[in-house]
């Protein structure tokens, strides 16, 4: 009884603190009957002492605040053009929190879930550690495809569809990424030629294959290469849990509620996985700075078998330049050949931000605002540009905006920024004249267009780590075999999916 009372009180606090009612989206349908001058906007507004006002309530991480404010200014300017002399106003109600404190994040997650269960919430929230799968199964989120299809200004082909497809849940889109990118892996050119040759003949490579090469290399050439560590530069390899989550998706079909974790290929992967962490128990480090230097890369070639470029401007090297020491940069894929989307929340994800729209909010207004967010993250200015220089987006990021029309200007500007940081790659030991520099930019853009049309998969599945955390520890410590661990995972995941039905 006391627990129930606390929940009721908590919900009451939420209602008072937010001070806004939920919005019925049916009242805000697009109206195309009142003239071309405003048919792309909205015609229903609330009236207060300041005039006709539409308010958008947003929950976001504090690192995005200045960029969100830029989008707010852009939306105000757009409305001034769409509704001249009308008195129509847009008001942003921004609620922020820090991702640095676990306590802050935990409180935000609990508070939002209580709000959603109470039938109340924000119009938009930025995805962080939110359990998106659980939200969709509970019916808390809007299918964003419906917003794209309803909007007379947009259609699905305006955006790169493969990353959207990768994020679908039961054929619906409940998370909208403002950008997307990949992890580019290169191999140490000083390895025995047979291993280099196996790598350079590939266009993409899976984590399975990387581990197989590493285990085989260190077993066959223990004296010469037994000291070498696995990989540098990517958060996915930081812990056994994060790495396992990155590989489990190919053997679990959440849509059909089926798992095949006792598959021979998965058990084989687990055996290499265990060997990997015995050979390199603390495998994670990270390349600092906007662009890796010649010196740091040379030093890493004495220590690592593979190098990963994923954040800031480093993919510019991977996209177009055969850099010394680590060669043939190719995207990381899953075991089915799907490119892995770098969707992790920290540090320095390739996806600048992703947004979700609760069904209790004004999702139509949120979708309109999202169009300005995409532009703001791709082309920040002023204080937003200063934030981007620390947070890895805008011209400081070599990934693709989700909007097709922004790719060429975005990548061109990112390469110009890279040129300023490296004096046109001279610091990397590579000299390029103006013509070659322009050709490099063009070839990178064309390569991105091709990659962006390939099938993709999120970096991590929606499966809770608590389902197998204890068994994973036992497996890594050698207390249980790969076969036993796989069977326990199969049982736990199958039961969890049954409970989600």
Task: Give pLDDT, residue 43.
Answer: 39
Residue 42 has pLDDT above 70, yes or no: no
What confidence tens digit (pLDDT) does each residue in 84-131 have? Answer: 877 778 899 999 888 776 667 778 888 888 888 888 889 999 987 778
Domain boundaries, the chain: 17-178+352-375, 184-343+461-500
Task: Give pLDDT, residue 289.
Answer: 58
The DSSP element (H or E) to which 433 belongs, if any, is none
Task: Give pLDDT, residue 7.
Answer: 40
pLDDT band at residue 279, thresholds of 50, 70 and 90?
low
Mean pLDDT of the chain: 80
Residue 22 has pLDDT above 50, yes or no: no
Burial 184-201 (b: 16+ CB within 10 A, else e): bbbbbbebeeebbebbee
Task: Give pLDDT, residue 315.
Answer: 85
Fold classification of 17-178+352-375 (topology level): D-Maltodextrin-Binding Protein; domain 2 (3.40.190)
What confidence tens digit (pLDDT) does each residue in 308-365 have? Answer: 888 788 888 788 776 788 888 999 998 888 998 876 544 455 678 899 999 999 999 9
Whether omega for the bond prior to residue 347 falls within 30 degrees of 0, making it cis, is yes
Task: Give pLDDT, residue 348.
Answer: 53
Percent of the chain with pLDDT over 90: 34
pLDDT band at residue 234, thresholds of 50, 70 and 90?
low
Task: Give pLDDT, residue 447.
Answer: 93
pLDDT band at residue 18, thresholds of 50, 70 and 90?
very low
CA angle (402 as vertex; 144, 185 as ends), nearest 5: 125
What confidence tens digit (pLDDT) does each residue in 368-412 have? Answer: 999 999 999 999 998 888 888 777 888 988 899 999 999 999 999
Task: Give pLDDT, residue 308.
Answer: 86
What confidence tens digit (pLDDT) does each residue in 121-177 have? Answer: 899 999 877 788 888 888 999 999 999 999 999 999 999 999 999 999 889 999 999
pLDDT band at residue 12, thresholds of 50, 70 and 90?
very low
Residue 100, helix vs strand vs coil: coil
350 or 7, higher pLDDT: 350
Task: Give pLDDT, residue 350.
Answer: 67
Contacts of 124 (CB under 8 A, 6+ apart): 56, 57, 58, 59, 355, 356, 357, 358, 361, 363, 366, 369, 370
Task: Give pLDDT, residue 50.
Answer: 47
Task: Give pLDDT, residue 28.
Answer: 39
Which range (93-102, 103-112, 232-241, 490-499) has the least confidence?
A: 232-241
Contacts of 54 (CB under 8 A, 6+ apart): 42, 45, 46, 88, 89, 90, 91, 362, 365
Strongest mean pLDDT among 43-57, 81-95, 180-194, 308-322:
180-194
HSE on the CB side for 306, CA within 13 Å?
Answer: 31
Contacts of 394 (CB under 8 A, 6+ apart): 377, 378, 379, 380, 384, 385, 388
Nearest alpha-carbon partner for 315 in 392, 235, 402, 227: 392
Residue 56, helix vs strand vs coil: strand
CA distance 143 to 356: 9
Q: What are phi and psi of 59, to 5 degrees?
A: -110, 125
Task: Give pLDDT, residue 83.
Answer: 79
What confidence tens digit (pLDDT) does each residue in 420-479 have? Answer: 766 545 656 666 777 888 888 899 999 999 999 999 988 767 788 788 888 988 888 888
Residue 472 Rama label (left phi>0; alpha psi -120 to 50; beta): alpha
Full-model pTM: 0.83
184-343+461-500 — its CATH code? 3.40.190
CA distance 422 to 501: 53
Handedness of CA 144, 149, 152, 156 (dihedral sign): positive
């Amino acid at each position: 009884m006391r627990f129930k009372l606390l929940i009721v009180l908590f919900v009451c606090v939420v209602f008072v603190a937010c001070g806004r009612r939920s919005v019925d989206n049916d009242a805000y349908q697009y109206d195309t009957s009142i003239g071309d001058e405003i048919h792309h906007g909205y015609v229903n507004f609330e009236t207060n002492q300041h005039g006709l006002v539409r308010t958008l309530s947003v929950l976001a991480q504090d690192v995005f605040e200045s960029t969100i404010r830029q989008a707010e200014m852009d939306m105000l300017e757009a409305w001034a053009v769409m509704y001249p002399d009308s008195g129509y106003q847009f008001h942003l109600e921004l609620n922020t929190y820090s991702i640095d404190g676990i306590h802050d994040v935990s409180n935000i997650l609990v508070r939002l879930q209580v709000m959603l269960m109470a039938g109340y919430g924000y119009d938009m929230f930025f995805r962080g550690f939110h359990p998106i799968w659980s939200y969709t199964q509970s019916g808390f989120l809007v299918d964003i495809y419906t917003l794209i299809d309803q909007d007379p200004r947009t259609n699905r082909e305006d955006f790169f569809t493969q990353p959207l497809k990768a994020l679908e849940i039961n054929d619906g889109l409940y998370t909208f990424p403002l950008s997307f990118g990949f992890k580019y892996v290169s191999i140490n050119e000083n390895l025995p030629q047979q291993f280099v040759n196996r790598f350079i003949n590939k266009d993409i490579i899976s984590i399975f294959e990387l581990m197989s090469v590493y285990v085989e290399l260190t077993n066959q050439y223990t004296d010469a290469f037994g000291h070498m560590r696995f990989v540098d530069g990517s958060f996915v390899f930081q812990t056994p849990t994060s790495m396992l989550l990155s590989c489990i998706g190919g053997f679990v079909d959440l849509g059909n509620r089926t798992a095949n974790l006792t598959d021979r290929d998965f058990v084989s992967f687990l055996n290499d996985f265990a060997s990997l962490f015995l050979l390199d128990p603390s495998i994670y480090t990270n390349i600092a700075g906007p662009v890796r230097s010649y010196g740091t890369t040379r030093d890493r070639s004495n220590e690592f078998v593979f190098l990963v470029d994923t954040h800031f401007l480093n993919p510019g090297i991977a996209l177009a330049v055969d850099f010394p020491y680590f060669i043939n940069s190719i995207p990381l894929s899953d075991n089915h050949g799907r490119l892995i989307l770098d969707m992790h929340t920290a540090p320095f994800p390739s996806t600048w931000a992703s947004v979700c729209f609760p069904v209790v909010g004004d999702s139509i207004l949120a979708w309109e605002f999202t169009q300005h967010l995409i532009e703001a993250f791709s082309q920040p200015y002023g204080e937003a540009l200063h934030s981007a220089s620390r947070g890895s987006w805008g011209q400081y990021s070599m990934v693709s905006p989700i909007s097709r029309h922004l790719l060429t200007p975005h990548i061109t500007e990112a390469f110009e920024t890279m040129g300023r940081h490296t004096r046109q790659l001279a610091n990397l030991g590579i000299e390029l004249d103006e013509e070659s520099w322009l050709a490099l930019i063009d070839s990178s853009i064309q390569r991105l267009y091709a990659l962006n049309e390939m099938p993709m998969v999120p970096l991590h599945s929606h499966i809770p780590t608590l389902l197998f955390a204890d068994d994973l520890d036992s497996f890594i410590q050698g207390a249980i075999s790969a076969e036993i661990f796989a069977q326990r995972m199969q049982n736990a995941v199958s039961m969890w999916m049954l409970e989600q039905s």
